[in-house]
Structure 1
Amino acid sequence: MVEVLQFLKDFEAVIYFLLGAGGIWYIYGFGRAWQEMRSAVFGLERDSAQRRLNAAAVSMFVLFALGLTVFVLVTFVAPVIPAGEIVPTQEIRLGETPVGTLSVDGTQEAGVAADPLATATPLPTVAIAEDGCVPAQLVFSAPEAGSTIRGNVEVTGTVDIENFGFYKFEVARADEALWLTIQAGRNPVIDNVLVESWDTSRLPPGDYVLQLIVTNNAGEELPACRIPVRIDPPAEEDA
């Protein structure tokens, strides 16, 4: 499920473009079938036009349903799934004798399977680009860079560019470039609330990076505005 949501988030604009192109094609076919059905003289012509009309209507409904499903998954479902990936654990069977032995110098001899976790490729760390935040266009007002946050947090800032399309507010651990979308919007925001109440207790305490990404109406994504923060446990857990 996480992989599917990540794929939809990465290719959201492409999916909308393909669905939109398909919708235009079927709308055109629906209009032609409607005109042919109205001008048909013979029953066979009318029946043929009616079948094409019904097929175009069903196709438009399916494309609309797919687009709505993608929007709901990316905007509302993805933000509630915790960031991170599931790491497989090594199975331990009670009563089973380990295979192979260790040599005197502590190295592993042949015949002993290597630990799969030892060869796992770590995720890249998050790079914080200083030129991504542009005053009066793409910038955080709160929280401030380097601040410590906990519990429910109000996120404010500005997302206002020429030919505005939409924006996304995302978060990732500082040591893992695996972004989690918290909020998305299709209206510009000028020094106002981006997220009214973000529950940071859903994430493990630690160092994180917040980012604002804005895409223009041509589908071009501008450099992200990123700031580092630290998330602490809620106050009741500190007691």
Structure 2
Amino acid sequence: MVVVFQVIATYAPYIYLVCGLTALYQLYRLWQVREERRQAIFMLERERAVRELSGIFSVALLLLVIMGFTYFASRTIPQAIVAEPEPTLPPQFALAITPTNTPLPVTPSPTPTETATPTPEPPTPEPGQQTIEQPPTPTPEPAPAAQAGSPPLCPDARSVISSPGNGATVSGVFTLIGTATHEQFSYYKVEFAPGANAQNGFTYLADGRGPVFNGALASINSRGFANGPWTFQLTVVDLTGNYPEPCRVTLYIEN
């Protein structure tokens, strides 16, 4: 119903114009019919003039009804709709804010003081007894640390693998650390290929949908790779499907 009132309000000026032109034409007809009635000689002519006058007055009444309804529909009803206040929620639907208890700060407990425990001294051998010297306990040699490798020379600063370095030896679960970003970033992907300094034959390993700044790119379990050199490649793809030169690093797997 509101749509009908909006259409009437939009075309109200044209409705008024048509009604005004019709009213002018009816005034002209009224003048003509009155002249014909005044000059009529026969009764039939006068009766016809009376019928035409009745029709003119009926049209005038209809025009008044149309103009009044148009004014009411285009002015009064839209103003009443706009002035109608918005409903407010009853009190039982109002949000109630419940206060939360603020935890008290933890009071630090006193740190126990270490007490020195006396160590019993070995008994002094009596004269004439031979002292047996204990052989020295061998110190275990530390296991050789994994080679850290050298930083890879990545051709583009937006696609960099910073750790592990190029030529590093890894085992177990390790994480590729680096940077994957672009002005029109879409996603990045990590791939691998057998051999050192591989240039093709890469297989998908992992990807990311958000840029990374010197953070974790992918977590890799070396148990899924055979021992030996492997080349890992980082590619950053933009919104157009293009990508800068990938960054490659050679790692040695030792499971």
Normalised by the size of structure 1, how large is the TM-score?
Answer: 0.40
Q: Between Structure 1 and Structure 2, whose CA radius of gyration is higher?
A: 2
Normalised by the size of structure 2, how large is the TM-score?
Answer: 0.38
Higher relative contact order (CA 8 A, sep 6+): 1
